[in-house]
Amino acid sequence: MKLWKRTHSCGELNKGNIEENVTLMGWVNSRRDHGGLIFIDLRDREGKTQIVFDPKVSKEAHQLAHNIRNEFVIAVKGEVSFRGKDAINPNMKTGEIEIRISEMQILSQSKQLPFSISEYSDVGEDARLKYRYLDLRRTEMKNNIILRHKVSLLIRNFLNKKGFLEIETPFLTKSTPEGARDYIVPSRVNPGKFFALPQSPQLFKQLLMISGFDKYFQIVRCFRDEDLRADRAPEFTQLDMEMSFIDRDILFNLIEELMATLFKEILSAEVKRPFPRLDYDDAMSHYGIDKPDLRYGMKIHNLNEFFKDTQFSPFSEVLAGNGKIGALKTEQPEKFSRKNIDDLDLFVKSLGLGGLISIRFKEGSELQSSLKKYITEETAALLKKEMQAQPGDLVFIAAGSTEKVNQVLGLLRIKIANTLKIIPKEQYKFLWVTNFPLFEYSQTEKRYTSVHHPFTAPVDEDIAMLESNPYQVRSKAYDLVLNGNEIGGGSIRIHRTELQQKIFNLLGIKAEEAEQKFGFLLEALQYGPPPHGGIAFGMDRIVMLLAGASSIRDAIAFPKTAKATCPLTGAPSEVSSEQLKELHIKLDL
RNA sequence: GGGGUCGUAGUGCAGUCCGGUCCAACACGCCUGCCUGUCACGCAGGAGAACGCGGGUUCAAAUCCCGUCGGCCCCGCCA
């Protein structure tokens, strides 16, 4: 059977093609067999077209069409015809026409599918991932993959126009001590030695700056062997960028233009510029998180002042210990029953705080709360003013260490917003978070570690504090946040060897170790490095948000599960003892 | 590493709290037949699950207990 030549896709024919003879190929999306007439929606990547088998047109084709089942692949020849006024389907792009079939070939058959391709049926993610190639036939996933392509193309075109070069960097590279756990690849020809897959092309892009490629970008896979989340995959794609001779504002401006272009081209959404900026410290104290969702309010208030003389010992102890009494006023307070509030209390406890206290404001300085006897009428009035509370309003209070209170109230804020469903869809609130601390203390490692990475430059006026007060030093790092998602982050880098050495020292990385791990960078920094900085974006997250999806997996053609496995291929899997032997690897399980 | 939640026909789910009424319900899909204007076609009939796996309690377990595996979500972790 010779394969015919396809003349059109299933998404392009319309009234203008009437009376044309066409050849279509595609999958049988649905079959409506009326005995006399058989209708089939033929589907390909571009869309669906209704084809009709009428014995008056071809007895043979009509006969053959009885054998067709869903997801068979067929080729059909026929004439494009108008459906007739009453038969038009306004929900289909090709809904005014149909193809009256004169000849058909069955190109391949299909077993009954493990799930329906129809957009009207729900399918569990288990089944979808195991049969991902079928899942990708479904409209929603297909559109996400097409959208992802468009995003990549827009980015490449935009950056090309701005003078950027896309340059590839190695996947088989060197393990670095800071940062995430590496995925490791053994080197057969170098027994006992290992490559690491890149967590990001960080060092290479800095080297490219030293090479003089002053505007670099790459859409590139990165790998991190850490535990996963809805928005975190073990291998993920970054839009990685670096520029020389720039300051933060040049970069911000460029990125804002890029984002506005993306959102306009993809969603026809106008994005307000410039994007607001928020200091890390303010983000933490007002939202309890470094990636606040600005689509809704419920900011965290600090109530320390109001309880400085309190007799309520849990609070006075917190204040004595330099802690925080934080509060947030919920929206839609009328929706909170005693049971709801108890559940939130449990939620707060599960995150490691003592509990949640609620205050329901009434008329005047009246209030209803387990804390009532510790609150004077005067304090009640002040509280009411601070929280801008109306009668009926509900305020949640938590106390503990400042970090914990911020974190827990931040998570509570998100939980309440989700529960109340007050987060507006189709609204895009970008935010730059700036002035991150340079260092943080790592409980697990018992030393300072970089908040961003060890190549991040400190804020100039804080450099003097590096030794005396390293915890207070701010960095020239920034994150781009969209609707509560960190979609990108970067920094202005250190471009002087001495400062880089000093940072390594403070991080407890010995000169010898620094030499061994980053020697090549330190050496490169001695050969005329330009001042430079950059940013990297989570492509999968951006596509996820543009697609309106809630999991990064819906933005990836062949994603991994939360346990970093692939149900489709069965990866990861054992390898033969011969393979291990060649690599000089012995297992110790 | 910790917490939560789910696991029942091909798919999605009900039943699980309060064990027997469940040789497990419903919808979609599938199979057979009918149907010339449907478009998530319709109508009639039919097949299909011993309830993730292992053990225990009980006269009796999808339902209770213990363990285990897997999916998803969160905390830790993710420069």
ipTM metric: 0.95
Nucleotide nearest to A83 (CA to C1'): B37
Q: Which residue's CA lies closest to nucleotide B34 at its C1' atom?
A: A35
Task: State the nearest residue by CA to the C1' of B42.
Answer: A34
* CATH C-level class of A296-420: alpha beta
Q: How large is the angle between the packed helices A280-287 and A402-420, nearest 10 degrees?
A: 60
| Interatomic distance A120 CA / B45 C1' (Å) | 26
Nucleotide nearest to A227 (CA to C1'): B77
The pair phi, psi for residue A420, each rounded to 5°, is -80, -10
Tokens of A308: 């400085």
**CATH entry 3.90.550.10 includes domain A141-278+430-578:** no
Closest among A67, A58, A66, A63 to A99, alpha carbons compared:
A58
pLDDT of res. A589: 82
- Return the nearest residue to B7, CA–C1': A126
Query: Cα separation of A3 and A96, whole Å?
Result: 28
CA of A119: nucleotide with nearest C1'? B40
Cβ-contact A401, A343 below 8 angstroms: no
Q: How far is the CA of A340 from the C1' of B63 (A)?
A: 28
Q: Contact, A105 vs A4, CB < 8 A?
A: yes
What pLDDT, on a 0 to 100 scale, did the predictor assign at position A532? 98
Q: Which bases of strand B have any atom within 7 Å of the beta carbon of a protein residue?
A: 1, 3, 10-13, 28-31, 34-42, 70-79
The secondary structure element, H or E, covering residue A172 is none
Residue A434 in contact with residue A277, Cβ under 8 Å? yes
Confidence at residue A261, expressed as pLDDT on a 0 to 100 scale: 98
Between β-strands A477-482 and A430-434, what pairing exists: parallel, antiparallel or unpaired?
antiparallel
Query: Is residue A422 within 8 Å of A266, Cβ to Cβ?
Result: no
Closest-lying nucleotide for A91 based on CA to C1': B39
Q: Measured in angstroms, what separates residue A75's CA from nucleotide B37's C1'?
A: 23
Round to a whole number and report the distance in Å from the CA of A263 to the C1' of B73.
29
B42 C1' to A25 CA distance, Å: 28
* Cα distance between residue A290 and residue A436, in whole Å: 9
pLDDT at res. A278: 97
Asked if residue A572 has a cis previous peptide bond (ω within 30° of 0), the answer is yes
Domain positions in chain A are: 15-108, 141-278+430-578, 296-420
Longest dimension (CA), chain A: 94
CA separation, residue A130 to residues A115, A408, A555, A559 (Å): 11, 37, 16, 10
Q: Quickly give A100 CA vs B69 C1' distance in Å.
A: 53
Q: Distance between CA atoms of A310 and A200, rounded to whole angstroms?
A: 50
Rounded to whole angstroms, how far apart are CA atoms A548 and A542? Answer: 10
Contact A78, A11 (CB under 8 A): no
| Closest nucleotide to A443 by C1' from CA | B76
- Nearest nt (C1') from A122 Cα: B12
pLDDT in tens, chain A (589 residues): 789 999 999 999 999 999 999 999 999 999 999 999 999 999 999 999 999 999 999 999 999 999 999 999 999 999 999 999 999 999 999 999 999 999 999 999 999 999 999 988 899 999 999 999 999 999 999 999 999 999 999 999 999 999 999 999 999 999 877 889 999 999 999 999 999 999 999 999 999 999 999 999 999 999 999 999 999 999 999 999 999 999 999 999 999 999 999 999 999 999 999 999 999 999 999 999 999 999 999 999 999 999 999 999 999 999 999 999 999 999 999 999 888 898 899 899 888 898 899 999 999 889 999 999 999 999 999 999 999 999 999 999 999 999 999 999 999 999 999 989 999 988 999 999 999 999 998 877 778 899 999 999 999 999 999 999 999 999 999 999 999 999 999 999 999 999 999 999 999 888 888 888 889 999 999 999 999 999 999 999 999 999 999 999 999 999 999 999 999 999 999 999 999 999 999 998 8
Q: Which residues pair with A400 in a beta bridge?
A: A324
Q: Do residues A360 and A336 make contact, with C-beta atoms less than 8 angstroms apart?
A: no
Q: How many CB atoms within 10 Å of residue A149?
A: 11
Q: Report CA(A181)–C1'(B52) in Å, whole number.
A: 32
For the CA atoms of A211, A212, A215, A217, the dihedral, rounded to the nearest 10 degrees, stands at -10
Whether A380 and A365 have beta carbons less than 8 Å apart is answered as yes
Cα distance between the two ends of chain A: 55
Nearest nt (C1') from A39 Cα: B38
Helices A139-161 and A248-267, axial angle in degrees (round to 10): 140
Q: Are A518 and A126 in contact (CB under 8 A)?
A: no
Name the CATH code of domain A15-108 (choices 2.30.42.10, 1.10.1370.30, 2.40.50.140, 2.60.40.420): 2.40.50.140
Question: CA–C1' span, A94 to B33, in Å?
Answer: 33
The pLDDT, as a whole number, for residue A176 is: 77
CA A571 / C1′ B70 distance in Å: 15
Distance (Å, whole) CA A492 – CA A532:
6
